[in-house]
Every structure is written in structure tokens, then in C-alpha cells.
Chains A and B, each alone.
Chain A
Amino acid sequence: MNNATPLLQLSSIGKQFGGLGALSDVSLHIRRGEIYGLIGPNGAGKTTLFNVITGLYQANAGEFQFDGNSYRACKPHVLAQAGIARTFQNIRLFANLTALENVMIGRHLRGRAGVFGALLHNLATRNEERAIARRAHELLHYVGIDKPGQTLAKHLSYGEQRRLEIARALATDPLLLALDEPAAGMNATETESLKTLLQTIRASGITVLLIEHDVKLIMGLCDRVAVLDYGRKIAEGIPEEVRNDPAVIAAYLGGGDD
């Protein structure tokens, strides 16, 4: 794949719920290797756009291209297979499973063992299981969770749960890591270490898409930013440009209750 082509290209995406338009005519592109920020007032359609990209919602209009392939109505698991991994705004871990198991489940789609493999427990399966467990341990360490892997996900601290979600997403070997407000509810120290983590992830060659409320984090981290308001893209560019864009200022002041 040519490095000049964008990794993700959205063309005129529209999404309606009943009669209400949540997204209209949103086009944007994310380049390989960048950290791309998506901001906007509450209810601007950021999470809806996220859900369209990750297959949770089907767009009513438009299509998007990811890594050279077109997608319109796809199941989430197909897009995960294609290389889009995500986290959720209100953390959705497998709460009653261990931290390690959570990450191991992220490896699911890069594994092969089926029922017969499970029953026979042959060499290939054993090797695969070992590799999965090893990678899961590595990823826990990578995102900075030093509690034992046997800890149930629900017993991790809030910040650790956020990072476990990132580890689980990374386990799918994504090309694009899509994070829905990863810093929400974090204190300053946690946010700072999250920032470092995201920079490390980007340095490892993974493209990052970030929805965030913390404007400071976005401005300090993102290469480019798009602003959504009422389901439309009102601005896009490098952080400094966007910050001074009158339409953006108006949207934030007008939407004010953020």
C-alpha cells in the first residue's frame, strides 16, 4: 500500500436516527502514522461517527475507505479484522474476566484454533495459546498495568481500566487505534502518562484517532484536528489553525454547556 494514500478516507458520511440527522455529509481523511483528533461540543456526533467507522452503526449515506478497501455496511468484527480497533467512552471491558483474559480475547481474530484444536490440544494449538498469553502479558506491561494478570478487570482502578481497554484493542494488531475519550475521568498525572503512551503507540507505527474533551490534550498531542458541530464538520487542520477558527469558537461558545 502506498504511504501517500490516506489510511482512512470518509466520503460524505450521513447517519440518521428516525428523522433526526446525527451526521451529515462528513468527509475527512486520516493519514498513516498520524494522531488525528476529533473534537466538538456534546451531541455533535463524534461518537456516532466512531460507531459508523467501527461498524456498530450502518451509515445511511456515503462510504468510507480503509487501507484501500471500501466499506459500507459491515459488521464490527469485519472492521476489526481489517485493522480498526477501538475503545469505548463508557469503558466496556469483560468485567468478570481477568485482565489477562481481556487482552487474550483481543488476540482472538489473529488466532486460528477452533473446536478441534481445543479438543485435541495439538502442538499448533499449544504454541498458539502460548504466543497469545505471551503477547497479552507484554501488552499489559506495555500499557503500564503492573497488577497481576489474574486480577479481574472490574477490580482494576479507573485509569487502569482505561489502559486495559487500550491493551485489548492493541492486541488485535490494528492499523488504526480509535479511542473514545480515553482521558475522561483521569487526573492530571494519569492524563500525562496516557499522553506518553499514545506517543509510544504512534511511534510504533499505529495510526491513532482520538475523540477527546480535554482540549489541552488534543492540542498537545494531535497532528491534525477536525471539529464536528451538529453532525457537520466545521473545521479541520493543524491544532493552531483550528483553535483560532471563528466557526469553532462560535460553536464552543454557542454550545457553551460543555
Chain B
Amino acid sequence: MEIFLQQIINGLVQGSVYALVALGYTMVYGILGLINFAHGEVVMVGAMLALSALTAMLGWGAPPLLALPISLILAMLGCMVLGYGIERIAYRPLRHAPRLAPLITAIGVSIVLQNLAMMIWGRQYHAFPQLVANQPHLIGGAIINDIQIIIFILALAIMAGLIVVVHRTRLGRAMRAVAENQHAAQLMGVDINRVISITFMLGSALAAIAGVMVSANYGLAHYYMGFLLGLKAFTAAVLGGIGNLRGAMLGGLLLGLIESLGAGYIGDMTGGFLGSHYQDVFAFFVLIAVLVFRPSGLLGERIAERA
């Protein structure tokens, strides 16, 4: 029972990070109908930027509790610029090209980012400094520490904030209008390019936060961390119903739980045939299963009918 509870806690924490990244995928998809393949790398860049800023500031003797938020904000700003750049380079020039084209440019961007990061930060794993006194708490035999609590609450707060932005503000209305019908939105005086840019930047800012969260949780950052995380977050977005914000959140949390429970119990389920190192496979099977049986996701509208 303790193990079960522990896996639930781990799953929810990990899932909230997936959800943040999934929001980036789902926002871009909602508005452009395209997958931002480079989004996972934005997460990585966010983590790396924050790491560098943090290391530098701590080196200058800045108080940790000041350095952390500042480096988080710097990472968010950096990623917003990056997100803007990705849209300008890989998506905007190809908005009327065949669908394959922006997909390929985005893959190109993601490879470039990954290798630039490797050149800048090296191949090695970087230890992410632990700044919060990471007090473990015991709940019903399971352990949850401060960082995990912060991650979970912060993620929920950000998601709530995003919902408010999208449904209650002028910008959100413009975003929804562009998602619904670009042409009509343009006729109504919405600056489509601006809305799309802002969407990329918003998603990238969330990705930066998620990157810092993952690194803080595991205490590690690495140039390759974005790839798998991005793939899983995309799975989460599809699971919830791509294009749907609440779906991305639900999908993220659910995927986190599936993964953590799956990894915890796969040995027992398969009589020891498959071990926990198959954890990463779960996401893919979930992805394929969802796409086959319910391509619209749990909360999504039926995409097929929109043809």
C-alpha cells in the first residue's frame, strides 16, 4: 500500500510537469493545427539557461532564494525569444506549404538546438543546485518532499492562470478566434501573426518552468533531457485531446500516473519478464493506443469530422 501511494505521488508530480509541457504542444496545435516538434528542446534550453544563470549568481554570492526566481525568469525570457524564433524560422514561412514541410523544419530546429546545447553545455550531466531545504514528509508511509509539493502546487496554479488568460482576456479571445477560423479572425481585425507568436512564446515560457521543475526534482540537467520529455508531453496532450487545454492537464497527470504505476508494477504483471527499465515504453504504447482507439483524446472534439 505504501508503494502504491508512493507511486501515486511520484506520478502526480511528474504528471504535472508533463501537463505544463503538454500545454505548449496543445496551444500551438490548437492554433496552427501543427505539432511543434522543437518544443521538447525548449524545455531543455529552459533548464540549461536557468542552470547557468543560477550557477553564475550563486558564484557572485547572491542569496539562493533570490537567485532561483531570477534565473527562472531569465530562463522564461530566453525561451520566449526562442519560441518566437522557432515560429519565425520554421513555421511562418511555411504556413501555406504542404504539411510535411513545417514538420521537417521543426525537426531540423530541434536537432540544431540539441547539438548547440551539447556544444555549449557539454555532454555531461549537470548537477542542479538544491536551493530549497528539501524536507521530506511522510504521508501514510509514502514520502513527499518540499520540492515535489512546490512543483505540484505551482503547476496547478499556472494551469489555472492559463485557463483564466485564455477564457477571460482579450488576448485569449483572439487566440480562440484564430484557432477557430484564421481567415475570419483576420477579417475581424485580429493580428494573426501576433497571436501566433504570442502563443509560441507563452508555450515556451511554460516549457522553461517545466524544465526548471524537472531539473530541480531530479537534481540533474542534460542536453538530451528534452527529447523524451517532449515526446511524453506530446503523448499527454494527445491523451487529453490535442488542442484542448484542460485535456492537456488531465492527460499530463494521467500519463504521469500510468507511467509511475506501470513502472512500479510491470515486473509483477509480467512475472519478472519486463523490468522497470521499460518505463519509457509505456508512454509510446499509451500514445499508440489512444491514437488508434480514440484519436480525439479523452476531452477532445472529433477531429475527423472537421474535414
Binding site for B on A (CB under 8 A): 17-18, 56
User: How far does the alpha carbon of A17 sit from the alpha carbon of B301 in the complex, in Å?
Assistant: 11
User: How far does the alpha carbon of A17 sit from the alpha carbon of B307 in the complex, in Å?
Assistant: 11
Give a binary string over B102-143; 1 marks a CB under 8 Å from any A CB, 0 the rest: 000000000000000000000000000000000000000000
Name the interface residues of B291-307: CB closer than 8 Å to any CB of A. Answer: 301, 305, 307
Give a binary string over B155-191; 1 marks a CB under 8 Å from any A CB, 0 the rest: 0000000000000000000000000000000000000
Residues of A within 8 A of B305 (CB): 17-18
- Whole-angstrom distance from the CB of A97 to the nearest CB of chain B? 13
Binding site for A on B (CB under 8 A): 301, 305, 307
Name which residue of chain A comes closest to B305, CB basis: A17
User: How far does the alpha carbon of A13 sit from the alpha carbon of B305 in the complex, in Å?
Assistant: 18
4 CB-based A-B contacts, threshold 8 Å = A17-B305, A18-B301, A18-B305, A56-B307
- Whole-angstrom distance from the CB of A18 to the nearest CB of chain B? 8
The list of the 4 closest CB pairs from A to B, nearest first, reads A17-B305, A18-B305, A56-B307, A18-B301
Name which residue of chain B comes closest to A51, CB basis: B307
User: How far does the alpha carbon of A17 sit from the alpha carbon of B302 in the complex, in Å?
Assistant: 10
User: How far does the alpha carbon of A17 sit from the alpha carbon of B305 in the complex, in Å?
Assistant: 7
Residues of B within 8 A of A17 (CB): 305
Name which residue of chain B comes closest to A95, CB basis: B98
- Whole-angstrom distance from the CB of A16 to the nearest CB of chain B? 10
User: How far does the alpha carbon of A17 sit from the alpha carbon of B306 in the complex, in Å?
Assistant: 9
- Whole-angstrom distance from the CB of A21 to the nearest CB of chain B? 14
User: How far does the alpha carbon of A18 sit from the alpha carbon of B301 in the complex, in Å?
Assistant: 9
Residues of B within 8 A of A18 (CB): 301, 305
User: How far does the alpha carbon of A56 sit from the alpha carbon of B304 in the complex, in Å?
Assistant: 11
- Whole-angstrom distance from the CB of A172 to the nearest CB of chain B? 22
User: How far does the alpha carbon of A152 sit from the alpha carbon of B289 in the complex, in Å?
Assistant: 40
User: How far does the alpha carbon of A227 sit from the alpha carbon of B301 in the complex, in Å?
Assistant: 32
User: How far does the alpha carbon of A5 sit from the alpha carbon of B4 in the complex, in Å?
Assistant: 68
- Whole-angstrom distance from the CB of A57 to the nearest CB of chain B? 9
Name which residue of chain A comes closest to B301, CB basis: A18
- Whole-angstrom distance from the CB of A15 to the nearest CB of chain B? 11
User: How far does the alpha carbon of A18 sit from the alpha carbon of B303 in the complex, in Å?
Assistant: 12
Residues of A within 8 A of B301 (CB): 18
Residues of B within 8 A of A56 (CB): 307
Residues of A within 8 A of B307 (CB): 56
- Whole-angstrom distance from the CB of A230 to the nearest CB of chain B? 20
- Whole-angstrom distance from the CB of B96 to the nearest CB of chain A? 12
Name which residue of chain B comes closest to A56, CB basis: B307
- Whole-angstrom distance from the CB of B31 to the nearest CB of chain A? 21
Name which residue of chain A comes closest to B307, CB basis: A56
User: How far does the alpha carbon of A18 sit from the alpha carbon of B302 in the complex, in Å?
Assistant: 9
Name which residue of chain A comes closest to B306, CB basis: A17
- Whole-angstrom distance from the CB of A85 to the nearest CB of chain B? 20
User: How far does the alpha carbon of A100 sit from the alpha carbon of B254 in the complex, in Å?
Assistant: 52
User: How far does the alpha carbon of A114 sit from the alpha carbon of B301 in the complex, in Å?
Assistant: 39
- Whole-angstrom distance from the CB of B101 to the nearest CB of chain A? 13
User: How far does the alpha carbon of A56 sit from the alpha carbon of B307 in the complex, in Å?
Assistant: 9
User: How far does the alpha carbon of A18 sit from the alpha carbon of B306 in the complex, in Å?
Assistant: 10
- Whole-angstrom distance from the CB of B59 to the nearest CB of chain A? 56
User: How far does the alpha carbon of A56 sit from the alpha carbon of B305 in the complex, in Å?
Assistant: 10
- Whole-angstrom distance from the CB of B233 to the nearest CB of chain A? 29
- Whole-angstrom distance from the CB of A22 to the nearest CB of chain B? 11
User: How far does the alpha carbon of A222 sit from the alpha carbon of B307 in the complex, in Å?
Assistant: 30
- Whole-angstrom distance from the CB of A196 to the nearest CB of chain B? 34
User: How far does the alpha carbon of A17 sit from the alpha carbon of B304 in the complex, in Å?
Assistant: 11
Name which residue of chain B comes closest to A96, CB basis: B98
User: How far does the alpha carbon of A219 sit from the alpha carbon of B305 in the complex, in Å?
Assistant: 34
User: How far does the alpha carbon of A18 sit from the alpha carbon of B307 in the complex, in Å?
Assistant: 13
Name which residue of chain A comes closest to B302, CB basis: A18
Name which residue of chain B comes closest to A16, CB basis: B305
User: How far does the alpha carbon of A56 sit from the alpha carbon of B301 in the complex, in Å?
Assistant: 19
User: How far does the alpha carbon of A18 sit from the alpha carbon of B304 in the complex, in Å?
Assistant: 12
- Whole-angstrom distance from the CB of A129 to the nearest CB of chain B? 28
